[in-house]
Amino acid sequence: MSQQELFNRLREKYPVLSYEEYRITEDIGKIYIHFVYRLGPDIMFQHEINLLKKGFTQNLSLTDPRLQSAAFQLGLIELIRYWKLTCSPRVILRAGALLSGQIAWWKKLFFCGLQEFFHIHSISTDRDHFMRLEVASSKVVFPKADLSLAEDKQLIPVGGGKDSIVTLELLAPFQAHNLCLIVNPQKARLESARIAGYSSQDIIEVRRIHDKQLNSLSQQGFMNGHCPFSAFLAFLSFFVATLFGLKHIIVSHESSANEENIPGSGINHQYSKSFLFEQDFNAYLHQYLTDDVQYFSMLRPFNELQIAKYFSRLSPRYLEEFRSCNRMSGQNSWCGKCAKCLFVQIILYPFVDEKRLQAIFGRSLFSDTELLSIFLQLIGADPVKPFECVGTREEINAALSLGLTCQRKKKGRKDLPYLLKAYTEKYQHLMMNDTQAQEVLMVYNNEHLIPEKFSDNIFFTALYDLKNP
């Protein structure tokens, strides 16, 4: 059976997925958000998000309609993980109501956020027909809210990689008003925040618990694939900001996230990190939810190469603790076999000495012959970029070119490892001269939503550092 046939068969067998309810509860140590989804008459999904109280001051009570609204929205984005099991043609909302403009907005998010999922499974569909979102609730639409925020405070999601670390450092002047948000706490995430000067009482810890049936159904032949995680993080951050009265949600998405994996296709693994989503999410907040919260990326003016250079100049403790590999995130390690690991080695190559790079991964990934196909995808020799959060083809070739220039100055081109030797011998047309590569380091992207309060002095400092060897 083809994936298209499976898609059609599952939609026929499971024509409806419903969002039944959400509720917010608490005990002495945690706040819980429970969601219930129903697939057909027989399958119920129980989904939970909980966060540690730690004595944080709540801006709203758990029963406040403004917080209830944020929880309902969070349940909508979590629904996507269960929808893709069967791609049911009808999604029925019983937990709450939406306006027609909100329904159109959510359909766009689902469709664009699942473009990779449709591509990988060779599914042919379109925005009009992939899903119908229907309201079947007697509840009224939550009105746009005044959150009555007394002062500016920031929420910074921290993922344990170089990007959120750079954001923490750029926002050091505002540290007294910053809180970190960590989902499913792991050593790299917690240590990143602690190295940046944040204590446990500055870190909001959240755990996300999926229904156990997700894995078993996937093993039984139901569909599975990529979900727009950063869109979930945006709505989770909004719930947390509403609960604790935080005005700014500051994420760490660089300009590189805008590039498609397949040129001209509209397919972008990083769609929910793109500037398009950032604009759409802000518009949704301000049109339907509240004018009091601003969502923006601190790194939008910069590209991956610039961020890597800036990161390399921070405390060496970050190099020891940061982690970006999705395959081994649960083990707080690097697999050394995926596109993300190889990309991280490439982007740090011009700025971190060889011994320290090898210490990060336990070896030189440039010597691994099994990584050639991924390497060709990253440099653009293969037209399809890996479906991972990696930089643009231009940034990757600039990093390799700068790194090779540094290596020539040190010891010539003798004994280049396998991937770099292949690059210099077979893909010279992709290499850049020093001037071209340095230009990539000097680009400033003016398409961002950063308030002047954060941009004035910070970017002067960051760009000054980038201009110096």
In this predicted model, what pLDDT tens digit does every residue of 73-107 receive, in sequence order?
Answer: 999 999 999 999 999 999 999 999 999 999 999 99
Half-sphere exposure (Cβ direction) of 312: Cα atoms closer than 13 Å: 23
pLDDT at 129: 92
In the structure encoding, which two tokens stand for residue 60, read together? Answer: 């709203």
pLDDT at 151: 75
Residue 25 or 150, more confident: 25
- pLDDT range class, residue 324, cuts 50, 70, 90: very high
Residue 4 has pLDDT above 60, yes or no: yes
- pLDDT range class, residue 467, cuts 50, 70, 90: low
Residue 412 has pLDDT above 60, yes or no: no
- pLDDT range class, residue 407, cuts 50, 70, 90: confident
Q: Per DSSP, what are the bridge partners of residue 135?
A: 93
pLDDT at 413: 55
pLDDT at 363: 92
pLDDT at 180: 98
Identify the residue whose tokens are 């959400």. Answer: 22
Residue 464 has pLDDT above 70, yes or no: no
- pLDDT range class, residue 456, cuts 50, 70, 90: confident
117 CA to centre of own chain: 16
Least confident among 147-151, 156-160, 340-344 = 147-151
Least confident among 229-243, 278-292, 435-449 = 435-449
Per-residue pLDDT tens digits for 420-449: 999 999 999 999 999 999 999 988 888 999
Residue ranges of domains in the chain: 3-141+149-297, 304-443
pLDDT at 455: 81
pLDDT at 149: 80
pLDDT at 333: 95
Per-residue pLDDT tens digits for 29-77: 999 999 999 998 889 999 999 999 999 999 999 999 999 999 999 999 9
pLDDT above 70: percentage of residues in the chain: 96
Of residues 150, 154, 203, the one with CA closest to residue 178: 154
Per-residue pLDDT tens digits for 390-400: 999 999 999 99
- pLDDT range class, residue 121, cuts 50, 70, 90: very high
Residue 148 or 351, more confident: 351
Residue 134 has pLDDT above 60, yes or no: yes
d(CA 362, CA 342): 13
Where does 27-131 show beta strands of DSSP type E? 30-39, 43-52, 90-93
Section 190-216 average pLDDT? 96
pLDDT at 336: 95
pLDDT at 40: 87
Of residues 85, 235, 213, 57, the one with CA closest to residue 157: 235
Least confident among 43-52, 117-126, 150-159, 269-278 = 150-159
pLDDT at 330: 87
d(CA 465, CA 469): 8
Helix-strand-coil percent breakdown of the chain, rounded to 5?
50, 15, 35
pLDDT at 394: 97
pLDDT at 465: 63
Mean pLDDT, all residues of the chain: 94
d(CA 141, CA 404): 58
Identify the residue whose tokens are 């909001």. Answer: 204
